């Protein structure tokens, strides 16, 4: 198992101070930016699938400012031929991810960045249920030959220390169980841990949950570092 963050549990605990209770929750319908139609895929180029909720889809930022778009630009600048598919949906849960699984598998991805579970946690779903759904997703993608990168998340502090601890540890446990790479905290680097409020308007939107365009630049770098060792496999 590989990780891409120093002292992840400290980051998970402190960064969550600025994480509002709408992590990935669906915004009012009139504030949703319609997702563009998926581009036609080149069968000769390997696919990186960004599979997740609103943190992946790019809530309230332009399509070319989402992390999958930023990641695509970084890959091209580094000379990689991969094509990134943004398969994020606002409000998506792990059970919703299972419902979309066959369509995702049809894309035959080489690498999957799996960012799900936040909306389940906000609903108080038992962690074992979330873990089981994520394990099913990881297993299915790996059976198709994909490298799966698990992206860790956290929850607002009012969900209680025991539930939060179990939720946070779930991601590391999954990565260890399946021997897959782990991003301990998907929003690593977006929050000033000394003054969390100072990050609002810089790297985080006013809701305290979703990255700004500048924030997604950091997320793209985090993801790029996580997948880089697997790009030439």
What phi and psi, each to the nearest 5 degrees, are found at residue 181? -65, 150
DSSP 141-155: HHHTT-EEEEEP---
Q: What is the pLDDT of residue 14?
A: 36
Does residue 138 have a pLDDT over 90?
A: yes
Does residue 111 have a pLDDT over 70?
A: yes
Domain boundaries, position 203: 8-18+46-230
Would 191 be classed as within a structural domain? yes
Would 1 be classed as within a structural domain? no
Q: Which residue has the higher pLDDT, 154 or 50?
A: 50
CB contact set of 121 (below 8 Å; sequence gap of 6+): 23, 127, 130, 153, 155, 159, 163, 167
Would 41 be classed as within a structural domain? no
Q: What is the pLDDT of residue 195?
A: 64
Give the pLDDT confidence of 1-37 residue by residue, as tens digits. 544 443 443 344 334 433 433 344 443 333 333 444 4
Alpha carbons 144 and 147: distance in angstroms, whole number:
9
Q: Would you say the C-alpha torsion 211, 163, 150, 99 has a positive or negative sign? A: negative
Q: What is the pLDDT of residue 74?
A: 97
- Give catalytic residue positions: 54, 207, 210
DSSP secondary-structure letter at 228? Answer: G
Would 40 be classed as within a structural domain? no
Would 36 be classed as within a structural domain? no
Q: Classify residue 46 by burial, with Cβ atoms within 10 Å: 0-12, 13-18, 19+.
A: middle
Query: Considering the entire predicted model, what is its pTM?
Result: 0.84
Q: What is the pLDDT of residue 196?
A: 58
Most confident of 20-34, 35-49, 135-149, 191-205: 135-149
Q: What is the pLDDT of residue 40?
A: 78
Would 35 be classed as within a structural domain? no
Give the pLDDT confidence of 100-109 residue by residue, as tens digits. 999 999 999 9
Would 26 be classed as within a structural domain? no
Q: What is the pLDDT of residue 194?
A: 53
Would 3 be classed as within a structural domain? no
CATH number (domain holding residue 176): 3.40.50.1110
Q: What is the domain count for the chain? A: 1
* Strand 147-151, strand 111-115: pairing: parallel
Q: What is the pLDDT of residue 179?
A: 98
């Amino acid at each position: 198992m590989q990780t891409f963050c120093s002292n992840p549990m400290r980051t998970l605990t402190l960064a969550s101070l600025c994480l509002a209770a709408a992590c990935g929750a669906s915004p009012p319908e009139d504030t949703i930016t319609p997702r563009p139609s998926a581009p036609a895929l080149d069968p000769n180029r390997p696919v990186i699938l960004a599979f997740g909720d609103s943190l992946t889809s790019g809530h309230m930022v332009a399509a070319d400012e989402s992390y999958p778009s930023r990641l695509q630009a970084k890959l091209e600048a580094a000379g990689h031929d991969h094509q990134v598919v943004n398969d994020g949906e606002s409000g998506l849960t792990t059970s919703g991810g299972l419902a979309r699984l066959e369509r995702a598998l049809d894309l035959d991805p080489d690498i999957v960045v799996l960012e799900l579970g936040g909306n389940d946690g906000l609903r108080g779903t038992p962690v074992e249920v979330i873990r089981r759904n994520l394990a099913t997703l990881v297993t299915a993608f790996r059976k198709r030959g994909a490298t799966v990168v698990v992206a860790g998340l956290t929850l607002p502090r009012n969900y209680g220390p025991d539930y939060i601890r179990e939720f946070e540890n779930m991601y590391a446990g999954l990565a260890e169980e399946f021997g897959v790479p782990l991003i301990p905290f998907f929003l690593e680097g977006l929050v000033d841990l000394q003054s969390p409020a100072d990050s609002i308007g810089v790297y985080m939107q006013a809701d305290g949950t979703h990255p700004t365009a500048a924030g997604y630049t950091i997320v793209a770098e985090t993801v790029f570092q996580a997948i880089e060792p697997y790009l030439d496999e």
